[in-house]
Structure 1
Amino acid sequence: MTIWTDFGFIGSPYDTEPIPPTDQGDSLLVGRDREINEIVSRLESSTRHPTVEGPFGAGKTSLISVACYRLERAFKEGNARVNPLIPLRGEPIELNPEITIEDFQRKLFYRVAEAFKIYGDGLEATGRRVPRQKDIERWLMDPVFHTRSGGFSTPIVGISAGKGRTPSSSIAYSEFGFPRAMKDALESCFPSRAHGGFIAVVDNLELMRTSLKVRALLDVMRDNVLAQKGVRWILCGAQGVIRSAAATPRLMDRLAQPVDVEPISDDLMSEVIGRRIDAYKLRADPVTPVGPNGFWYLYDVVNRNLRTALGFADEFSFYLHRGYGSSTRKSDDLGLLEAWLSDSADGYHRAAEEWLGERDWRVFDILTHHGGTCRPCDDYQDFDYASAESLRAPIKSLREANLLTYEPDELNKRRKVASITATGWLVAYARAGYAPTLAS
């Protein structure tokens, strides 16, 4: 038995994982219809691939998940026969600085083969040409393929004559066999953009570390991966990375301007947590460790970061269960949540004091009252410094104390942006006398 069954839930209503592509996931998403409609509209009506940007923890992955789920549901229900858009199964694809275009294509085409296996009958019912199911299954199950002396053969497409068996991971097969078969299959099934395609998602582009690396890889992808018929892409990344990476003439005709994802508005927070409580409850009257009022308070303290607020609500639930079991009276006590949050903030504050001096704290306090973000090269006078150079030392100290991030500005690589972390906002809460510190 888990603590959640004690409280009357099937699992944590404060789960920080992205919302799943299911009916329940669709019901949990609040306040994102505008963004979803724009993504879907671009997929249906434009030859350029939609992109999504937003701050960490704003829910970008969740809204893409739900958008794809709605398109898949429309196809299954027979409402998207002319230009079906079907999401590939599995987690979003992530790029990294070490990946090659060949490795990326292999991952993509393997998922495409799985999608043809799953949706082939439905696509064939619309009059489309699809690979034979038994051939796809044979490739997915068998690590070898048949070669012939005058060329090669795959389970889907065969060329030339003479027999042999070669591992499917061989260079010849990687370069000419399976990828070519998948390209032919995609172009036969989806001969133009107007015929729809499979949806592939590339998430967390910020993992490429700088937009220059993102741009370099996207530039390589432009004429093959991003131009592949039958595959519609959604590219997603942190604030600024798409605009910076796609700001070239070569990429602008492939990638649309980003759909901006802002933090969910304050007036929807009660609905956000209310839907989660309803979705996860085992009984009619569960004990809710953090209800709508308490959750809004957490959301305010951590500067409107939904993922961080959910994480703190989850931690408080363990504290409540450890100290008070499944007491309804204690779960309704907002004062207990505030006391726990204050103790947690004090712990982080004391740890930071081991690293920081008066000069560092002064910079930190000013930054919290400026909304938590600054560009030291441009904003040093706001901190009463004579130059950006003199501001670097306290910024470095605050970064080492894990109160700030200090990363290249995706819109201008010659500048860096200092931003308060989730830990930093909790410390700011302690320094403000246990009150939210977000500037009005």
Structure 2
Amino acid sequence: MKFGDIYGQWYLNSTPFAVEALKCNEKGERLLQGRDQDITNVMHKLHRNARITCIDGHYGSGKTSLVNVAIYKCLKAFKAKETNQILIPCKVAFQLKDDLDVDEFTRNVLQHVVLAIKEHQEILTPICDITGFDNLSKVLSDPILSMQSGDLNSSFAVGVPGIASFNMGGRGGLSESVNNSAGFNSVGFEFAAKNLLEKIFTSIGGGVVCVIDNIELLETATKARKTLELLRDRLLTTKGLRWVFCGANGVIHSLAASPRLSAFLNTPVLDLQAVRKVDLKDVIEARIEEYSIRPEETFDKLPFGLVQIEWLYDVLNYNLRDLLSHLEQYCEYVSTSRVVVNHQMKDILFKRWVRSFGEFNYKDISKQISKNAWLVLDAAMSDDFRGTFNAGQFDLFNRNSKIPVTPETFRKWLRDLKRCDIITQSIPNDLEQDSQDELELETYSVTSKGALVFYYRLQEQQTLTLSQHHDWLKRVSR
């Protein structure tokens, strides 16, 4: 191993286990496996006019990758004349924040929408009127959007509503760097961009597909709903834009209950489940084929096999993103530690490392929480709850505890474990809080990190619950 190239020894040109969303391209399509029906469902939803596609799923289930590949296949379908709608991908996924500046967010989205249109200009020019996009005679002095790469020299200028120009010349690639100089006329730019979208997508069907990702980061359904309601008339109903909302913890289902948003959402919400274990082999093989110069020898030489990968997938609560991350970390551990892994030792060494990783997380978190707080994790992973539980089930927790627990202590432990990413809380539809007890609305699930720590605790026989843990790896619906 030289210069940090740890994967060359396995005939890989780079890591096949990179934790990143798949791109909207041929490579993304090749790597996305086990999602055929989900891709079809998203493609159908994207073709529904003026409806926002909604996807909810656990962390690490691959929502963004699914959407990107679905958009790519929609564009392919248009090129193959299988559909009359052209759906253009916006390369950047957008995220909301608590103190959202609507003007800034709108400007940012429309800038990237213009970039998306520019990238697909060759397709659009023969089929629709894009006059005013690259051939206007009036160009004002202050450019607001600069796209330069290599020998490409282009600029987009807006000064007054409806006046826009692209000056094209030379060769090169497209840069997504935006110049937010003082000369930026945001009102003029927004007007021109929306006018352009109106012109293009009146003559043809479709739109530029924009994704708002990780909506659950706003933490409450109220914040998410109010933020999106602010954007409704400004962006979400703009002709020529197709939207996808992605979130976890039930936040998308809560949005669907909003009277001001429900009419624009493409319901029912698509609940994305974890990749089935039976499809995991295809996922891994596709990645090895993509990155290896000798795939068969790579499979033989890697320090783990499919059996170990499937076992770890169970341990991690069927979280594909964290599975790939752990496989990458183990490869680095084997290389930097110069551990010799033969066929007979693959299983032993791999499981030993996973256990030590669980121990590290357990000891690190134990410094931050009460030792008795682990009762919540132990009970949640039992046959009674199988990884998911409602906070209102306190009595069942208490009956099976080896230690006495009060409701106040129980709630504190929930907060502590959530803070340490051992459990995650689903976001309830808070429109119903008047009719239900707040505690009853709080549903929690064990994260992959929590499942890994529990695996260590189970091996060490440290569990604090009287409940049984028979066949605990099958505890979560997939």
Taking structure 1 as the reference length, the TM-score comes to 0.86
CA spacing shift, 1:52–1:331, aligned 2, 3 Å: farther
Say what the alpha-carbon RMSD is for the aligned residues.
3.1
Partner of 2:28: 25
Deviation of 1:280 (Å) = 1.2
Q: CA deviation at 1:168?
A: 7.5
In 1: Cα distance, 2:349 partner to 2:93 partner: 39
Of 125-134 and 232-241, the range deviating more from structure 2 = 125-134
Deviations 1:304-323 (A, max 9, x none): 11111111111111122233
Deviation at 1:196, TM superposition (A): 1.1
**1:85 maps to what in 2?**
87
Distance 1:309 1:169, change over 3 A: same
Structure 1 residue 199: Cα displacement: 0.9
Superposed CA offset, 1:406-429 (max 9, x none): 565356663433333333211110
Q: Equivalent residue of 1:253, what SS?
A: helix
Which residue is equivalent to 1:45?
48
Q: 1:233 to 1:332 in 2, by over 3 A?
A: farther
The equivalent of 1:197 in structure 2 is 207
Structure 2 match to 1:4: 7
Equivalence for 1:155: 164
Q: Tell me the alpha carbon deviations over residues 45-83 of structure 1, each in whole angstroms, 9 at most, x when there is no partner.
A: 3431211110000110110111111123334x3526732
Partner of 1:219: 229
Measured in 2, the distance between the counterparts of 1:25 and 1:331 equals 35
Unaligned runs of 5+ in 2: 147-153, 167-178, 400-404, 461-468
Q: Is the 8 A contact 1:130 1:189 kept in 2?
A: no
User: What is the distance in 2 between the residues matched to 1:48 and 1:331?
Assistant: 55
Amino acid at match of 2:446: I
CA distances 1:135-155 after superposition (whole Å, capped 9, x unpaired):
5996533889575xxx76732
1:364 corresponds to: 377
Matched, 1:315 2:329: yes
For residues 266-321 of structure 1, what are the alpha-carbon distances to aligned partners after superposition, in whole Å with 9 as ceiling and x for unaligned?
Answer: 11112211211111112241222332111101100111111111111111111222
1:173 is aligned to 185
The letter of the residue matching 2:323 is A
**Corresponding position: 1:306 with 2:337:** no
What residue in structure 2 maps to residue 403 of structure 1? 422
TM-score (norm 2): 0.79
Gap runs ≥5 in structure 1: 158-166
Q: Report what 1:160 is aligned to.
A: none
Taking the aligned partners of 1:46 and 1:145, their CA distance within structure 2 comes to 31
Instruction: Kindly state the Cα deviation for residue 109 of structure 1 after the two structures are TM-superposed.
Output: 1.4
Identity among equivalent pairs (%): 27
Could you list the runs of 4 or more consecutive aligned residues of structure 1 that deviate by over 6 angstroms after TM superposition?
A: none
Aligned equivalent of 2:309: 295
2:249 to 239, 249, 256: 239
| Aligned-pair CA distance for 1:119 | 1.8
More helix by proportion, 1 or 2? 1
What is the one-letter code of the residue matched to 1:301? Answer: V
**Counterpart code for 2:16:** P
Secondary structure of the corresponding residue to residue 282 of structure 1: coil
- 1:351 aligned to 2:352? no
The range that moved more, 15-24 or 255-264, is 15-24
Counterpart of 2:446?
A: 420
Taking the aligned partners of 1:144 and 1:338, their CA distance within structure 2 comes to 56
Q: In structure 1, how many angstroms separate the alpha carbons of the residues matched to 2:95 and 2:421?
A: 26
Task: Say if 2:189 is the partner of 1:187.
Answer: no
- Which deviates more from structure 2 when the two are superposed, residues 267-276 or residues 122-131? 122-131
Shift of 1:398: 3.6
**1:273 corresponds to which of 258, 267, 284:** 284
SS at match of 1:85: strand
CA–CA separation in structure 2 for the residues paired with 1:103 and 1:87? 21
SS of the residue corresponding to residue 55 of structure 2 reads strand
1:394 aligned to 2:407? no
> Which residue of structure 1 aligns with residue 104 of structure 2?
103
Q: Is the 8 A contact 2:162 2:191 kept in 1?
A: no
Aligned residue pair count: 422
Please say if residues 18 and 59 of structure 1, whose CA atoms lie closer than 8 Å, have aligned partners that are also in contact.
yes
Distance 2:342 2:238 in 1: 59
Tell me by how many angstroms 1:28 deviates: 1.2
Between the aligned partners of 2:411 and 2:231, the Cα distance in structure 1 is 38
2:224/2:255 contact within 8 Å kept: yes
In 2, Cα distance between equivalents of 1:115 and 1:363: 48
Change (3 A) 1:410 1:305: farther
Whether 1:282 and 2:301 are equivalent positions in the alignment is no
